[in-house]
Structure 1
Amino acid sequence: MPTFMAIITYGDRAVRDAARPRHREYLQHLLDTGKLHESGPFTDDSGAAIVYRAADEAEAQALLDNDPYSQAGALAGARLVEWNILFSSKT
Structure 2
Amino acid sequence: MTYFAVTYSYSPDSEAVVELRPTHREFIATLLAEGNIVGSGPFTDGEGGALIVIALPEGSNLVDAETLMNNDPFYKEGVLENRTIQTWNPVSKIF
Structure-2-length-normalised TM-score: 0.87
Per the TM alignment, residue 73 of structure 1 is displaced from its structure 2 partner at its CA by: 1.3
- Show the counterpart of 1:84: 89
Per the TM alignment, residue 56 of structure 1 is displaced from its structure 2 partner at its CA by: 2.0
Tell me, what secondary structure is at the counterpart of 1:78?
Answer: strand
Tell me, what secondary structure is at the counterpart of 1:59?
Answer: helix
- Show the counterpart of 2:39: 38
8 A Cα contact 1:37 1:53, kept in partner: yes
8 A Cα contact 1:19 1:68, kept in partner: yes
Stretches of 4+ aligned residues off by more than 3 angstroms: none
The separation in 2 between residues aligned to 1:13 and 1:83, in whole angstroms, is 29
Give ranges in structure 2 of 5+ residues lacking alignment: none
- Show the counterpart of 1:14: 15
The separation in 2 between residues aligned to 1:44 and 1:73, in whole angstroms, is 22
- Aligned length in residues: 90
